Structure formats: C-alpha cells, structure tokens
C-alpha cells in the first residue's frame, strides 16, 4: 500500500489505511443514461461521502453483482435517483452495488463492532438502529425506513469507498479471496431468510424444496442451504449443463424448464380450452418432478424468484399446507394464482425480502465455517461493471455469482 497521501487514488492503488481522500473513482448511473446497463454505468470522479456517528466508511476491495442494479440502470421498475431526489438528496447520481468486501477506513464515534483496519463484508440491509420505526418493529425489515443499500440508497460498492451503517459489517472469511468474499452475501442472506424465517415453514430434515433458477446466484445458495439443513433440494434449470452443476452443489436432481411450454400467465379460468391445455403442462411438469425425486411427494417449500412465468405452476405444485416463498419477479410482476388451490389446500404464498442482522450473520457464519461455496464464476475489472450487468440483463451471465475488482488487483 502507498504511504504518501493524495486527493485521488487510481483504481487498485490503496491509500494508507485510515487515510480518507476527498475524492474517489466511481461507476455511476444518471437519469439521462437510463437504459442498457452497458451504457448506463459510466466512470466518474465524485466526492467521498461523509459518515455519521453510527456509520462506517469501507475501502472496497471487490463488489458483487446483483439484479437490482440492472433495474437501477434501466430506471425501472423504480427510478431510484428520482425517489432519493424527492426525499432531499442532491447528488443527482446513483452509485450502486449491494455486495462488498473491503477494509474499514473510518468509523463514527458510536461504532463499537468494528475498527479501522478490519477486513469485512457488507450486507445490504440499511437501517438506523436508533430510528423510532426500527425500534418499534418486530423485525427491522418491517420498518418503513428500511432500504437496500446500494440500490435504494446511494454510495454502494461500485466505488473506491462505500458508506454503510456499522451493523451491516461482518467478518470476512480469511480463506476466501476478496472477490469470492464479495459475491454471495446478498443472495445467500436472502435465501437464508426465505428458508428459515417463515415458521412453521422452516426447512426441516427430509423436506423437499423446489428451487427455481437453481444455477443462478440465489439458486446456488438455496441448494447449499437446503442440503445443510437436511432437506432435499430439487433444481429447475434451463440446460442439462446447469442441472449437472446444481447436482455438484448438492441438488438431488433437476428439471429442465425448456422441456415444457406452459410458462407465462395463467389463462382465465373461464376459458375452458386454454385453461385445460395449460393445466396439462402443469401436470406434466409435476409428473417429471416426481420422477426426479423418485417418489410421489410434493415439495413442502417452493423457492421462487422468477415470478410471473412460474408462480401459477408453483402454487399448484407445492404440497397441501406448504409454502411458496418469493423474493423477486425477474420474469414479471403479475402473478396469476388459481385461488382454489390456495385456499382449499391451505397453501401459503409468502413474500420475503433480504434479511435482518441475525439472518445475515447466520449465513455469514456458514461462509466463515466453510459450509458455503460462494460459487464465484466470473470476475470483471472495475471498468467491466456495465458489461457484467448487461450479461445479467440479457440472461447470459454464467452460473453462480459474479464480482468486480475495485481495490483488489486479482
């Protein structure tokens, strides 16, 4: 690391630990560039943010890639810059990035859990622990002031420095590289909450869990967690190669969704011909699932995130008294449900969003213990931030998780 101090450091050139320069390199999004991620993300030099008494400043070594900043680049379904501007923010830009590994360079006077020089990873649950609504909530995730850092908030990990609440910081696993450590926290913590928070539908030994998108970031974490909890994960994928990848992670087996054609919105129940043709597809998928499992037993939990294309099938397929738990809608936000299956068979459709501190730390402890493979599949240089998100937007991203190098040199 350099010993001299400067006002601006090159990417990969670390300031002396504890020295915070006034400016930094960042990959920003601005409203006039909303559109394809490959052009929405552009490099800029911006001021290093100031921190409050319960906040910390982290020098970013590597940053994970998640779908939320595809949305940020597109400006839809939410214009995050407009939303912050209406709340009084004057920056005019968005620095995304909701996963990071790095080194603490500054900490507010009320911070007690970390100190300057600590190597950390960052979880993306952003809230002030002293806020009245957080203190009043049963779970900080239910507080109106809760936000996703690096998506709903600014100053994410696609920059040399990121500003976070100190409670977001967790120990970095020493056996992992910076880029591997940066990759799994958002998806892993999200999966951990989905599988452990919604009693009585927590994963139990021998529970079957159907995992959509098994080879993706969320799916790879879900498969490993289900297996670690004693359950039986069945993956849904889009190719045989992805299915074999899932089996190596612990999946009992897999279904290739391209073998079926009924995906999309459910036909209106009054259209007998269309509905009957659609339900044939659902039943064929269910029969294939039984063959993969090796017995006629429905999944107790369906791990959902595609949304519009798959929820209609998930609600029918899940066991009576079981749960479909969903954290996203990457195929669309309309979710048609045949309510007859939902109420008569007493099924549950449960929304889930990221994780609280206890759940994020629970997942991170499994990483620290070597029980979770981050499934890092590709690493990009800092200038490849837009390219990485473009691949994700187009569905051409590799299996597992991706990361970009910021302070680390690879």
Asked if residue 158 has pLDDT above 90, the reply is: yes
Q: For position 4, what pLDDT does the model report?
A: 73
Model pLDDT for residues 210-253, shown as the tens digit of each residue: 999 999 999 999 999 999 999 999 999 999 999 999 999 999 99
Asked if residue 409 has pLDDT above 90, the reply is: no
Report how far residue 77's alpha carbon sits from residue 303's, in angstroms, rounded to the nearest whole number.
22
The percent of residues in the chain predicted with pLDDT above 70, rounded, is: 99
- In this structure, the number of other CB atoms found within 10 A of the CB of residue 145 comes to 13
Mean per-residue pLDDT of the chain: 97
Report how far residue 72's alpha carbon sits from residue 35's, in angstroms, rounded to the nearest whole number.
9
When computed from its CA atoms, the radius of gyration of the chain, rounded to whole angstroms, is: 22
CATH level 3 topology of 198-351 = Rossmann fold (3.40.50)
Contact at 8 Å (CB) between 221 and 372? yes
Report how far residue 174's alpha carbon sits from residue 368's, in angstroms, rounded to the nearest whole number.
8
Tell me the domain boundaries of the chain.
23-185+374-405, 198-351
- Average pLDDT of span 384-397: 96
Query: Backbone phi, then psi, for 277, in 5-degree steps?
Result: -65, -40
Model pLDDT for residues 300-334, shown as the tens digit of each residue: 999 999 999 999 999 999 999 999 999 999 899 99
Asked if residue 2 has pLDDT above 90, the reply is: no
374: buried, middle or exposed (CB in 10 Å: 19+, 13-18, 0-12)? Answer: buried
**Does the domain made of 23-185+374-405 have the CATH classification 3.40.50.10470?**
no
DSSP string, 34-51: -S-HHHH-EEEEEEPPP-
Model pLDDT for residues 25-80, shown as the tens digit of each residue: 999 999 999 999 999 999 999 999 999 999 999 999 999 999 999 999 999 999 99
Q: For position 410, what pLDDT does the model report?
A: 64
DSSP string, 303-321: EE-S-TTTHHHHHHHSPTT
CA distances from 133 to 55, 152, 260, 353 (A): 18, 18, 46, 18
Assign 86 to helix, strand or coil: helix
The DSSP output letter for 268 is: P
Asked if residue 152 has pLDDT above 80, the reply is: yes
Q: For position 3, what pLDDT does the model report?
A: 63
């Amino acid at each position: 690391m350099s010993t001299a101090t400067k006002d601006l450091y090159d990417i990969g050139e670390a300031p002396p630990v504890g020295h915070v320069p006034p400016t930094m390199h960042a990959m920003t999004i601005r409203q006039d560039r909303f559109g394809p991620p490959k052009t929405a993300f552009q490099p800029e030099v911006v001021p290093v943010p100031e921190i409050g008494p319960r906040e910390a400043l982290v020098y970013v070594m590597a940053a994970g890639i998640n779908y939320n900043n595809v949305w940020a680049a597109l400006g839809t379904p939410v214009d995050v810059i407009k939303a912050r501007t209406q709340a009084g923010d004057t920056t005019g830009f968005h620095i995304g990035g909701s996963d990071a590994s790095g080194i603490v360079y500054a900490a507010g006077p009320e911070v007690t859990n970390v100190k300057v020089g600590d190597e950390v990873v960052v979880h993306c649950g952003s809230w002030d622990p002293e806020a009245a609504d957080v203190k009043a909530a049963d779970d900080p995730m239910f507080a109106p002031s809760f936000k996703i850092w690096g998506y709903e908030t600014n100053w994410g990990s696609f920059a040399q420095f990121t500003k976070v609440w100190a409670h977001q910081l967790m120990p970095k696993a020493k056996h992992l590289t910076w880029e591997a450590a940066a990759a799994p926290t958002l998806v892993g913590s999200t999966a951990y909450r989905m599988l452990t928070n919604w009693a009585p539908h927590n994963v139990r030994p021998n529970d079957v869990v159907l995992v959509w998108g098994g080879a993706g970031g969320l799916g790879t974490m879900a498969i490993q967690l289900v297996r670690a909890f004693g359950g039986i994960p069945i993956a849904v994928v889009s190719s045989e190669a992805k299915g074999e990848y899932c089996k190596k992670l612990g999946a009992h087996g897999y279904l290739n969704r391209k073998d079926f054609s009924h995906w999309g919105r459910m036909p209106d129940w009054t259209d007998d011909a269309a509905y009957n043709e659609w339900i044939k597809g659902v039943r064929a998928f269910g029969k294939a699932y039984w063959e993969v499992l090796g017995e006629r037993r429905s999944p107790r939990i369906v791990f959902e995130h595609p949304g519009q294309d798959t929820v209609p099938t998930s609600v029918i397929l899940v066991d009576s008294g079981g749960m479909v738990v969903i954290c996203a809608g990457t195929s669309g936000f309309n979710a048609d449900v045949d309510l007859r299956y939902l109420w008569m068979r007493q099924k549950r459709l449960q929304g889930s969003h990221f994780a609280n501190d206890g759940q994020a730390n629970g997942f991170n402890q499994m990483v620290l213990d070597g029980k979770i493979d981050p499934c890092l599949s590709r690493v990009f240089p800092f200038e490849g931030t837009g390219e990485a998100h473009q691949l994700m937007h187009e569905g051409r991203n590799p299996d597992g998780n991706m990361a970009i190098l910021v302070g680390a040199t690879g």
